[in-house]
């Protein structure tokens, strides 16, 4: 395990930001940490990276106890913060150079690493420009380069794609995938985009500082998300029939959605009432539904 | 050795941040220049009249050049001693801005000791303030060379030493005060307060002799007064010696020094120059101890919580 968190507690006065949180992250996996704003995600990340002290509990990162070997841990993890925390007036090059020096990387060693990062992230055109003159996507690339400058084993990404255009989001994900494949990098991700979480190897959902669900996306969808059968014909009859059979039915203009637990049930319904199924589709439950069901909150509305 | 490299990298980074913030750099540099111009424009004639008043009491008439130079050197010593503090407070804004922007969190995720980080802000602020103050000094020397230069070489060297002492005092003062600041509003409030008050309470804007004796004694307790005192001594003494050579009697020279803070008194006792250095550097030592204690306590508070579990 690259991260082992047990019974973690952190309060800010009367507010319990993290409440008895325990979970593990396996080496090399893409781990998604979900929760609405204020759920305790960033607090947990700040504790993991040694910025914030915890109240109690145990945090082991890369086999090292964060309390005793904080510097060892810091050498082995890189973090991309929610908002860019680099020096806006300095050039991208100066930013990377000054941060690399803090890990003992300078001179030829820095040039070599910068070359690798340039190859990975395409930095050459923006290296000499001040950060405040870069677009959001370009700045994000520099943030990622900074997090990777010391070649960490664990990359923490705190909502890395929030506010980015789809093209830049795709670039960020391409880089993450490339790093995972080529270097076996472990990625710890928090995100508001459920489609990103759906690609994770393992997911933990947090609500009000507590863990409310965990598992692979498939496990979570099976447990918490229902399939939807959408019918585009015989709307009235379908609505009456499925309501009478006790299904949750939602009629909209032009279609009727019937919530069904499991694909097997859907197949059964289609076979038994084939006269209603002239035009239809079956949609698998997604991570949005999981999140909604588990927390009672829509992630896009908070 | 590794920690030293990190310290140097952080110091360079802090200085770059300061110089790249053109507004911050401009304000730091322009404030002493504006003060100098305002002094020369509005107060020069007032001090020239006062000097001539003292000369007249001793039946002495001085050349215009030496009087102009004396007024200029008095005003420049005021600017140098006040601005060493106000510029240090202004240029330490990099540290506050790092807290506001969250940059300090990024720095803390790297394997750098909290004490190294704090020390890097201090060293960067010292160097930046020194660069600004030396620039002001060069401008001031050019002005004095034009209106009347009577500062011997050894005094020029001592003025450089005084500048170092004043910058050290200003940087430590700023470091201690600003350790507790983490918002832009608080920084503005402190800058405004110090800029408006400091010049008066250290006797830089007005000669101490013009204050009531009670106020004067209170001001003499404050260490900033002695940063002004050492500057006054080395800026003015060359002019006073020249006046003596031209015929101003010893009593006249002393009246000039007493009236314009070349001599500082606590009660009836005249403070020797060395004692001013002792007080100023002693205060620097106390401020350094306070700064180190604050840094250690702040780091311990952070670490203590981490070990609680």
CATH code where residue A263 lies: 3.30.70
Same domain, A205 and A82: yes
Query: What average pLDDT does range A151-161 have in this prediction?
Result: 88
Whichever domain contains A212, its CATH number is: 3.40.50.300
Number of domains in chain A: 2
Same domain, A194 and A240: no
pLDDT at B11 over 70: yes
* Residue in B6, B105, B307 nearest the CB of A102: B6
Same domain, A90 and A200: yes
In angstroms, the separation between the Cα of residue A24 and the nearest Cα of chain B is 19
Q: Would A184 be classed as within a structural domain?
A: yes
Query: What average pLDDT does range B228-248 have in this prediction?
Result: 92
Same domain, A216 and A233: no
Same domain, A187 and A267: no
Number of residue pairs across A and B with CB atoms under 8 Å?
92
Residue-level pLDDT at A176: 86
Beta pairing class for A202-207 and A210-215: antiparallel
Mutate which: B100, B106, B115, vs A, most A CBs within 10 A = B106
Same domain, A215 and A230: no
| Cβ–Cβ contact A6 with B under 8 A | no
Interchain proximity B16–A81, CB inside 8 Å: no
pLDDT at B301 over 60: yes
How confident is residue B176, by pLDDT bands cut at 50, 70 and 90? very high
Same domain, A212 and A231: no
Parent domain of A97: 29-42+74-220
Residue-level pLDDT at A46: 87
What lies within 8 Å, CB to CB, of A66 at 6+ separation is A47, A48, A50, A59, A60, A73, B306
Same domain, A209 and A100: yes
Query: What average pLDDT does range B13-41 have in this prediction?
Result: 84
How confident is residue B128, by pLDDT bands cut at 50, 70 and 90? very high
Residue-level pLDDT at B304: 52
Same domain, A254 and A160: no
Same domain, A182 and A278: no
pLDDT at B175 over 50: yes
* Residue A142, H or E segment: helix A136-148
Q: Would A16 be classed as within a structural domain?
A: no
**Weakest-pLDDT range from A87-91, A107-111, B183-187:** B183-187
Q: Would A52 be classed as within a structural domain?
A: no
- Quick check: ipTM above 0.90? no
Position with higher pLDDT, A294 vs B271: B271
Chain-centroid distance, C-alpha B18 = 19
In angstroms, the separation between the Cα of residue B219 and the nearest Cα of chain A is 41
Are B88 and B28 spatial neighbours (Cβ–Cβ below 8 Å)? no
In angstroms, the separation between the Cα of residue A192 and the nearest Cα of chain B is 22
Same domain, A135 and A87: yes
Question: Considering chain B, what is the average pLDDT of its residues?
Answer: 88
Residue-level pLDDT at A297: 63
Interface of A with B in 94-123 (CB under 8 A): 94, 98-99, 101-104, 106
Query: What average pLDDT does range A238-244 have in this prediction?
Result: 85
Question: Which of B89, B51, B98, B92 shows the shortest CA–CA distance to B72?
Answer: B51
Same domain, A168 and A260: no
Query: What average pLDDT does range A9-13 have in this prediction?
Result: 86
């Amino acid at each position: 395990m690259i991260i082992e968190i047990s019974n973690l507690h952190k309060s800010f006065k009367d507010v319990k930001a993290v409440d008895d949180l325990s979970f593990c992250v396996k080496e090399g996996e893409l781990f998604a940490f979900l929760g609405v704003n204020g759920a305790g995600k960033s607090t947990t990340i700040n504790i993991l990276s040694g910025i914030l002290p915890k109240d109690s509990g145990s945090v082991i990162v890369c086999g090292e106890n964060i309390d005793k070997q904080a510097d060892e841990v810091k050498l082995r993890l890189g973090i991309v913060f929610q908002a860019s925390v680099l020096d806006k007036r300095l050039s991208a090059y100066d930013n990377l150079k000054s941060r690399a020096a803090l890990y003992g990387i300078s001179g030829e060693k820095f040039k070599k690493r910068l070359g690798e990062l340039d190859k990975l992230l395409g930095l050459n055109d923006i290296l000499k420009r001040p950060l405040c003159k870069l677009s959001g996507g370009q700045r994000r690339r520099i943030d990622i380069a900074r997090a990777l400058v010391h070649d960490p084993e664990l990359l923490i990404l705190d909502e890395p794609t929030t506010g980015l255009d789809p093209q830049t989001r795709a670039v960020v994900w391409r880089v993450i995938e490339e790093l995972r494949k080529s270097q076996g990098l472990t990625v710890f991700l928090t995100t508001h985009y459920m489609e990103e979480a759906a690609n994770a190897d393992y997911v933990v959902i947090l609500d009000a500082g507590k863990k409310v669900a965990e598992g692979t996306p498939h496990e979570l969808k099976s447990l918490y998300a229902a399939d939807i059968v959408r019918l585009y014909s015989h709307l009235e009859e379908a609505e009456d029939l499925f309501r009478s059979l006790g299904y949750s039915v939602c009629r909209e203009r032009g279609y009727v959605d019937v919530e069904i637990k499991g694909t097997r049930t859907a197949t059964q319904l289609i076979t038994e009432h084939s006269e209603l199924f002239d035009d239809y589709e079956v949609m698998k439950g997604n991570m949005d539904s999981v999140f909604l069901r588990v927390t009672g909150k829509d992630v896009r509305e908070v | 050795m590794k920690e030293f490299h990190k310290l140097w990298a952080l110091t360079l980074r802090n200085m770059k941040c300061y110089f790249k913030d053109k507004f911050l750099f401009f304000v730091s540099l322009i404030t002493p220049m504006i003060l100098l111009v305002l002094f020369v424009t509005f107060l020069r004639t007032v001090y020239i009249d006062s000097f001539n008043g003292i000369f007249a009491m001793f039946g002495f008439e001085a050349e215009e050049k030496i009087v102009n130079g004396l007024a200029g050197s008095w005003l420049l010593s005021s600017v140098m001693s006040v601005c060493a503090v106000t510029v240090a407070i202004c240029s330490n804004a990099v540290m506050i801005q790092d807290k506001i922007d969250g940059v300090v969190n990024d720095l803390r995720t790297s394997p750098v000791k909290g004490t190294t980080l704090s020390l890097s802000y201090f060293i960067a602020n010292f160097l930046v303030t020194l660069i600004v103050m030396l620039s002001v000094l060069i401008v001031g020397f050019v002005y004095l060379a034009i209106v009347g230069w009577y500062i011997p070489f050894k005094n020029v060297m001592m003025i450089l030493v005084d500048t170092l002492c004043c910058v050290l005092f200003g940087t430590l003062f700023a470091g201690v005060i600003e350790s507790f600041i983490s918002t832009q509003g608080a920084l503005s409030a402190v800058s405004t307060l110090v800029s408006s008050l400091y010049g008066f309470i250290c006797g830089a804007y007005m000669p101490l002799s013009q204050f009531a004796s009670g106020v004067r004694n209170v001001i003499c307790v404050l260490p900033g007064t002695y940063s002004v005192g050492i500057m006054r001594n080395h800026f003015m003494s060359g002019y006073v010696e020249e006046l003596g050579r031209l015929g101003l009697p010893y009593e006249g020279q002393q009246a000039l020094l007493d009236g314009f803070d070349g001599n500082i008194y606590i009660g009836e006792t005249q403070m020797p120059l060395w004692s001013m250095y002792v007080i100023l550097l002693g205060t620097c030592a106390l401020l350094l101890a306070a700064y180190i204690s604050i840094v250690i306590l702040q780091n311990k508070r952070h670490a203590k919580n981490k070990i609680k579990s």
